[in-house]
Structure 1
């Protein structure tokens, strides 16, 4: 194994009560934090000399989404979350939806982001992104639009818990349904053979569980489904790396006081990932809430994009960060240290 380090719609009484519980949990969490095919030129992915974790330029495509977002100021819960996260260091304002707990819409479903011109494009690869436990999709709006602008369909399943295998199952099923629905703008435009799982916190645990499902099992949903990679971000503990079936990039925050980077993400997850190529990158200064910031202040989003571009589109600029003896991710000043296992060492350039 090789290691490289750098420098150091519930308007009911019960619904209101549940909302109060989540509000209290949010405040306590804030206090606890304390501190593939060849790519085409039109993809627009060209960080060049800009360190990748600071690369936050939108891609060439305008985006659309199936769930409207708005300022969190209109939601007591969303406003409390936004103000708490801003107090603890996030630079951008959160966006909210009407999905519970920010609003009163059902907390169960899947929302999509995709290029506005998707009907004129070839089928696009997919990122299935699971939010953190108790978080709603709007909090990740800026990252989802960022990824979609590079020519991806982003499916974001949610069920309030956001932590168990039904996240990926529901996301893939919804993608298959949209791909077969003549009334959907995604009709015939979803490339189910290029699916990547990702998620934050509890959603990072769900990501690993989904990436541990035997590949053939996905064919029960749709025979075209193929999972090609995973990105667990500051993941929850109930997963083991040895069960993974696809190349995996673990992203952790070096200042994360909830999911300590040197604890289970490293020892029971990354270090046990011995059957697939695996990486672990610790984001310098990254806290547990950084993945909800905008990409300009959230290195997790550009690094996730690079992994997507490498696996789903064969982008050579992105590949340079991960493969070959001179891989460049260790030199990015946005990461404090990175690791990759022996199988990743042997990946071709």
Structure 2
């Protein structure tokens, strides 16, 4: 079952500031990521690692509410069925906790970079199971905190705290294998708002939890409006759906969030044909997940195949047929190849 112990009280921060050094990562790794000529928006092969998780998912058929959501999402274009946990509203367990995903062979690998993923508001965390497994198969530890609202910065704080605890626990399979110096915040909808808020907190908030904690990137998906780009502290790729009728791509994701991302490298990618439910689809039918992997491979591991989509004058992301349009700011323009 998901981790239920949240540790110490959480720090609130409303006056936020920060800058980031716009340099490319130095680390390199060969973990099977090789999109080659295949567009990233279609690239959905699992990585080389089998995965494990702390909270198994199952068919949503036992929940009338979740079944209705599954059918409606598939009506609007999702190609995979949703998976459910037993947490409310899909089940009768408490609607808060943390689910972990990690490479099954993590004991034999070096410390793994981290994804802290925030589900959408009111969404079952199991609905993002395919994305979490996908990232874990490429050697990432994924923490998925949830509290039903999933829209405020306690989500990321809980994620860092529980990962720090797991890394220090000799009885935990992730003991000593969580690289808290390479943390990404990712989230969908309300969780996208939490992602941006977490990426805007002063870095010392996370160092109070664990001195090793360092946030290196963020990817808000179809984010809620209560976040603003000027406060971001880390390189951020804003992602939106060009057919999203709930979070209009040309409204706050563009003007309130991307165009105000002025102090860190920033991108805005609009996924062709994607509506608000597409981030709950499974790869390769979910470009949000695959493009996020490329962003993380570039920033966390210095992967050259991934880097060519984001840096240099001939960057390839604008030519990906799955992207209707993409922008990057002047600080992203200046990132070295």
Work out the CA distance in 2 between the residues paired with 1:104 and 1:188: 34
Q: Could you say which structure has the higher helix fraction?
A: 1
Q: What pairs up with 1:332-347 in 2 under 5 angstroms? A: 332-347=320-335
Q: SS at 1:89's partner residue?
A: coil
Which SS does the other structure have where 1:296 is aligned? coil
1:88-138: per-residue Cα shift (whole Å, max 9, x none)? 111101111111111111111110000001111111000000000000110
What is the alpha-carbon distance in structure 1 between the residues aligned to residue 177 and residue 89 of structure 2? Answer: 32
Aligned residues: 313
Q: In structure 2, what is the equivalent of residue 318 of structure 1?
A: 306
1:299 maps to which of 282, 287, 306: 287
* C-alpha distance in structure 2 between counterparts of 1:172 and 1:38, whole Å: 22
Alignment correspondent of 2:109:
121
Cα deviation, residue 37, structure 1: 4.4
TM-score of the two chains, using structure 2 as the length reference? 0.92
SS in 2 for 1:295: coil
Does 2:123 correspond to 1:135?
Answer: yes
Q: Which residue of 2 aligns with 1:94?
A: 82
Greater shift in the superposed pair: 247-256 or 216-225: 216-225
Q: Distance in 2 between matches of 1:122 and 1:212?
A: 29
* CA distance in 1: counterparts of 2:172 and 2:87, whole angstroms: 21
Q: Unaligned 5+ residue runs, structure 2?
A: 1-24
* 1:164 is the counterpart of 2:152: yes
CA RMSD of aligned residues (A): 0.7
1:36-94 CA-partner distances (Å, limit 9, x unpaired): 343322x1000000001100000000000000100111222221111111111111011
4+ long deviations beyond 6 Å = none
Give distance in 2, aligned partners of 1:287 and 1:302: 16
Q: Which residue matches 1:14?
A: none
CA contact (8 A) 2:47 2:137 kept: yes
**Superposition TM-score, scaled by structure 1 size:** 0.89
| 1:288-337 deviation per Cα after TM superposition (whole angstroms, max 9, x unaligned) | 00000011111111000001101111101001100000100000000000
Q: Residues of 2 paired with 1:341 and 1:311: CA distance?
A: 17
Q: Select which of 32, 36, 53 maps to 2:41.
A: 53
